[in-house]
Amino acid sequence: MFRRKLTPAAAASLFPLFAAACGGQADSADSDAPAEETTQPMAAVTAAAPATMTGLANPNLASEEELAAVPGLADAVGAIVENRPYLRAADLHAVLMAAVGEEAALEAYGHLWLRINLNDVTNDEVLLIPGVGDRMAHEFEEYRPYEDMDEFRREIGKYVDEDEVARLEQYVYLPIDLNTATGDEIMMIPGMTDRMVHEFEEYRPYTDLDQFRREIGKYVDEGEVARLERYVTLN
């Protein structure tokens, strides 16, 4: 866990956070069977997928009240908050497993989720997505590296319908390039504000991520820098 030099309340006074989802940043053994390129019925690649939903709570940004409202997580709120920030879905899963057990943790992911980087995710993390089985996890990995979210929609759309692609898209993201991303793209990072967008752009061009950590660390604590860093890259 990170040692914080700025309290959440103080950080909020500078850059108010909101629990928006990022549109979009893995112990992995592929299925032995090769992926078929023909379109398959949804049932062939997903298992008991819940209905399309929106507004998955972000475990790094949700309030204690929002966390408590997630079915089965009332007893886990303290543990969730204590272990922030989560940098991988596996980290969140470990905390929930210890607090409420596997069944409740898996059920919670229909309401609470830390988006996973399509190009840097384990097979086990993909399988935490509700309704995703081994076959679909294989398809996620088959098309790496993804250039953009349109590629994800196109490739996964070979196997499931448009609504299911949209549902799955709520669980994933691709990092944005620090030196080329537009203000609108930066704003898609969960918890981003207009003021912080300005700070991201102020220090361009970034030569490495150490520079990003150093410059953005002037405004937020180490844990928040790490949380923001997972959504960016340098190409």
Q: Are 17 and 221 in contact (CB under 8 A)?
A: no
Residues 6+ apart with CB under 8 A from 84: 59, 60, 223
> Over the Cα atoms of the chain, what is R_g?
18
Mean pLDDT, the chain, whole residue set? 84
What is the tens place of the pLDDT at every residue in 8-17?
444 443 333 3
pLDDT recorded at residue 2: 43
Angstrom distance (rounded) from CA 175 to CA 177: 7
| Closest C-alpha to 209, from 231, 183, 194, 192 | 231
Residues 6+ apart with CB under 8 A from 7: 221
Domains (ranges, CATH) in the chain? 8-21+176-233 (1.10.150)
Q: Please spell the DSSP secondary structure of 6-37, one letter per residue.
A: S-HHHHHHHS----PPP---------SSPPP-
List C-alpha distances in Å: 120 to 10, 26, 57, 87, 227.
Answer: 32, 6, 21, 12, 15
pLDDT recorded at residue 55: 80
Crossing angle of helices 222-229/209-216, nearest 10°?
A: 140
Residue numbers in the chain where pLDDT is lower than 50: 1-54
Classify strands 176-177 and 116-117 as parallel, antiparallel or unpaired: unpaired
55, two tokens: 């507004």
193, two tokens: 């504000």
Q: What is the dihedral of CA 100, 130, 66, 153, to 10 degrees?
A: 150
pLDDT recorded at residue 220: 97
pLDDT recorded at residue 8: 40
